[in-house]
Structure 1
Amino acid sequence: MKLEENIPFANVHRIGSKNDSVRRGKPRGIIAKFLHNKDIMKVKKAARNLKGKNFYVNEQHPTEIEDRRKKLYPLMKEARKNRANKVIMVRDKLYVNDVQVIPEESEFVFSSDTPHRPPRPRHNKRQRVGSSTGSAPDQNDDR
């Protein structure tokens, strides 16, 4: 993947049995849990160096989200055919030109009541927390 620095992992393990992978003729998958979100982003960016090889990198989502994403993949592929479209999938939501696309049974409909921009990445920053010592209204105020 052409990554120069060492990346610390919280946990790494292989899935499936060794006998099953030998029978199928495919290598066993690896699941890695990263310590830092910035390392996930580095690996995802470096994954394009694997193009044309027998390896790939993807995120693992819960089954419910994967089912919703499967419905959106054909629409995403169709939207990407027109290179003028900006197509982003965030977890189980598809945005085409900053408008969320909602699949219906017969056709795809653009939603107008959803936010028009996907959430921005956090870049390893913690959210600010307001102080609990805010100024309370004066109880002796005779307004």
Structure 2
Amino acid sequence: MASPSNTTMEDLKTLILAVDSKVNKFNEKLDTIQNKFSNLVQEVKQDVTQVKLEVSKTGQALKELRQNHDVLHRGVEAMELNVQCLEVDKLESMRQSFETDMKNLKEKQLLLEKHDRKYNALVYGMPEKSDENIWKVIDDLMINYSKMEKPKVDNFPFANAHRIPARQNSGERKRPNPIIIRFIHYADKELFLSHGSYLAGKNIRIVDDLPPCMKEARKELAKIAYKIRSDEKLKTRIRHLGVTVILETRTSSRDQWHIRKQFRCC
């Protein structure tokens, strides 16, 4: 076998050295790339860790925010409930105040109307004629029925007097329309009413003129009083105090009056 020439060996050596140099450079570049990749991986890991940390912090913040929202929501609900309670209490207070004011106003109006009727007297059951003279009817009532002194009656200064059309129940015998008498002096009216006892048994009665609601109360108490007189043999009287109509009873003139029933008209 022939031995290689010196030239061939040199070329081979040069080639090997060149290849070795390229391998070394390739290894260096590979190491560089590996280092860069390792650094990149490390940076990515750090970034991922940072992102996880930020996400964790964000999750915690969201959790705290949700808790704060729940607390705030409960607080708002409690405030709304308190406001509703306050509004209900305020409305109830306003309603009660309004009802009280209306009641007081109604009572004042009733008292004013009662005062305006203070000088009036009502006469029920006095016989009526189609062509009657009302002043002669009143004279007859006061002198012949109520047994008042004629000179006193002749000197009464009346403001007015007339019949009041009364509602008649169907099928019932027509009753005389009541008479309303307006006196100039209150004392004269009281004197006239004080003679009402002379009308007992004559189906005639004289009473104070009152507002309609108080008249109704007096009418109801009069029915009760009649039953008490019939069943219990007690004496009765009906009087009014303010806007209250009162039924009182007693056993005899020596006894004190006792309240049996009363109606407040407002």
TM-score (structure 2 length as normaliser):
0.29
Larger Rg: 2
TM-score (structure 1 length as normaliser):
0.49
- Larger helix percent: 2
